[in-house]
Amino acid sequence: MNPLLALQVASHVRNEVREHPKRWGCLALFLLFGPAIACTLVAVLIIVVIAGGADGSSSRPGHVPGIPDVMLTAYQQAAQRIGGIRPVCAGMRWSILAGIAEVESRHASGRTIAPNGDISPPILGPPLDGSGVGGNRTPIRNPDGTFARAVGPFQFLTTTWAGVEQDGNDDGARNPHNAFDAALGAAAYLCGTGPRDLKDQGQLRAALLRYNASQTYVSRVLANIERYDAVQLQPASNASGAVRTVIDAAMSQLGVPYAWGGGTVAGPSRGIRDGGVADRHGDYNKIGFDCSGLVLFAYAKVGIALPRNSRGQFAAGTRVSRDEGLGALRLGDLVFYSPGLIHHVGIYVGNDEIINAPYSGAEVRLDTIEPSEYAGATRLLPPP
């Protein structure tokens, strides 16, 4: 710069400062502390974002045994997005949607779920023609005269879907056979159009009754919601490879009825007569699993063929002695009960719990290992 010009500029600035000291003082402070202020604002913004996510995404599990990851993501995203569709609805959470989908379709069990949420083959209920199938005694028709039916993982009536259809994956379509669309549609239906707080048990129950006017149905869904609300990070998320496949296969059957003699490598099957307890519970008329049938099914997913009964399964694999204690168990181990003859088996999922089909009248569920009956375990897979 020309020295004379530089002196002139300096003189002008000096005069401006003398005439407007506050204005130039603020500028000087900004130049001095501006970078620090900017960093502070950025840090505050990051904290706000993290805190805001703590109620939604950051506290959510990334994997829940028994729920396909795409389905879980659909539930989570629907719970997040519902506020933009139903702004006066509060308390929606992924566990509510998971609780319903477990009853309606066992999270689209047995179907292929694409990353975009498309489910194939479609899940179709019977036509509601009043024939009594599925308990339907009153014909329900679509606007075109065809009989309505329940469709998709949330089993929407085609007539109901027309009023709540949503585009949950932003692909321009509203498809009840898409996990993201169906989950967001279910959230919208549960919320309704007026104020609702689903954290309130009474309002949640009323919303579920609107979804299906059956107290038995509502009780089953509420039990599922309570279980999912308690999920922090299920043990199966620590498993990988074949171990995770086995545990997820078993967990996908949660809620399936116990049926003496039920269960094949393909899934639940009709039970058989035993001349005693199972007959009194009507197991021969149920489609489900007994304890060894569930294990047979889960391990078939990784190509391991097992004997049909628990005593035969006890002889398979590498023995884990009862004397080593529960601390010696690894994910996926088969846990056996006696005393006397081996009479029960379950799959270890961590935290001293097994997934098992316990007895007639019950359903596939998680149970804490009973130390007094623990007879040891067998290990069929190497550690993940």
Task: Residue 370: name the closest of 360, 359, 381, 383 by CA.
Answer: 359
Strand partners, 150: 157
Sequence-distant (6+) residues with CB within 8 A of 336 are: 310, 313, 314, 342, 344, 345, 374, 375, 376, 377, 378
Q: What domain range is 355 assigned to?
A: 235-379
224 with 334, same domain? Answer: no
225 with 240, same domain? Answer: no
User: So what's the pLDDT on residue 3?
Assistant: 39
74 with 213, same domain? Answer: yes
For residue 56, is it within any domain?
A: no
pLDDT grade for 58, boundaries at 50, 70 and 90 = very low
For residue 31, is it within any domain?
A: no
Structure tokens given for 280 = 């009194």
Answer yes or no: pTM beyond 0.85: no
Among the candidates 229, 253, 271, a domain finishes at: 229
Q: Tell me the C-alpha distance between 136 and 212, whole Å.
A: 13
206 with 324, same domain? Answer: no
User: So what's the pLDDT on residue 7?
Assistant: 38
For residue 146, is it within any domain?
A: yes
Whether 335 shows a pLDDT value over 90: the answer reads: yes
Among the candidates 208, 229, 250, a domain finishes at: 229
Q: What is the CATH number of the domain that holds 318?
A: 3.90.1720.10
For residue 37, is it within any domain?
A: no
79 with 162, same domain? Answer: yes
Whether 65 shows a pLDDT value over 90: the answer reads: no
113 with 252, same domain? Answer: no
Q: Tell me the C-alpha distance between 53 and 31, whole Å.
A: 34
Cα→Cα distances 208→138, 157, 204, 211, Å? 21, 15, 6, 5
97 with 184, same domain? Answer: yes
Q: What is the CATH number of the domain that holds 118?
A: 1.10.530
Among the candidates 229, 263, 282, a domain finishes at: 229
Measured in residues, the chain has a length of 384
User: So what's the pLDDT on residue 4?
Assistant: 37
Domain count, the chain: 2
pLDDT grade for 362, boundaries at 50, 70 and 90 = very high
76 with 218, same domain? Answer: yes
For residue 8, is it within any domain?
A: no
For residue 5, is it within any domain?
A: no
pLDDT digits (tens, 9 = 90+) for 227-259: 888 875 444 445 678 998 899 889 888 888 999
Q: 8-17, 64-73, 348-357: lowest mean pLDDT where?
A: 8-17
